[in-house]
Amino acid sequence: MFIEDLRLFLIPYELPNGDERNQPRVEVETDEDRAALAVLLNVHDHRDLDDGVTDFMRNLIWSLGYEGRAVHEISLSQSDDSEERRFHRLFLLPSGPLLRVGGRYLQWVPSHARESRGMWMSIDGDRIWDLRIPRSLGRPVRQKRTIRRLARLSLPAPEFAVRDLQKASRAGYDFQVYWRESEIATARATRTWGWSGRWAWRDFSTEYFQFYREVKFRRSLAVLRNHLVSEMNDLFLRLGIRARMHLERKTPVADFDAGLERLASGDWDFARLREEGLTS
């Protein structure tokens, strides 16, 4: 559910009232730049780049959410015409060991695909786009550890209890205690992101805690959203694509910080948070 919420709320779909807050918008200088951007992001209909960029950013969340990074290899399209512009393409590298050594990356090659290339394949650093989550949200190693922990905590019961049930025996285990402790552990595991857990722990947490976590999660999404826009704009510049992305009516991170501070001081109540658009 954590990864699903990242994808769902990072760039919300347009609301029925026409609110387009946090929707990415792309400005390009020429039709050639528009075509280059469409090829780069694998947008089939380059007439609507905004939707294509939105889909691309949402797809990035799978890798960023699970791995803490999304590493792409940059390649040039082939052309027999020397005067025709060759467009760049992005190819997501598979999950696995990837080391940076000087100006190159060493990618671990699975045994079934090695042939005569050995265990490691060297890739020029100029051909790599190494996108990572912001430092304030953790490092890739920590993010992978968090996801593994969430996977363990999502089990409906401990393994020994499941074995007992399969044997039709009862060990006198209190599943309510297990579920409660699992939810508490989930809240702790996601405290950096501030995920609210879809209010799963509302029965044993305060209303203040729930609102605090929701605002903090939205703040984390704003940090990640701004980071993605900045990194993608840097990539466009690096590849010579004259395009610029920005967010439509974005909520500044400072607004979330101010809201959390005023909530803690008692200056704002929960209703005020809603009025300011910091929570639902």
Record the tokens describing residue 264, joined without a space.
């803690």
Beta strand ranges found along the chain (DSSP E) = 23-28, 69-76, 88-92, 98-101, 104-108, 120-124, 128-132, 243-248
* Per-residue pLDDT in tens (0 to 9) along the chain, 280 residues: 899 999 888 876 554 445 556 678 889 999 999 989 989 988 876 567 888 888 888 889 999 999 999 999 999 876 545 455 678 999 998 887 888 888 888 887 776 666 666 778 888 889 999 999 999 999 999 999 999 999 988 877 777 666 666 666 666 667 788 888 888 899 999 999 999 888 888 788 888 999 999 999 999 999 999 999 999 999 999 999 999 998 877 788 999 999 999 999 999 999 999 998 888 7
Residues ≥6 apart with Cβ < 8 Å to 74: 88, 89, 90, 126, 127, 128, 129, 239
Fill in the DSSP letter of residue 219: H
Q: CB-based contacts of 7: which residues, under 8 Å, 6+ apart?
A: 58, 61, 62, 65
Q: Considering Cα of 73, then 64, then 62, then 38, what sign does the dihedral take?
A: negative
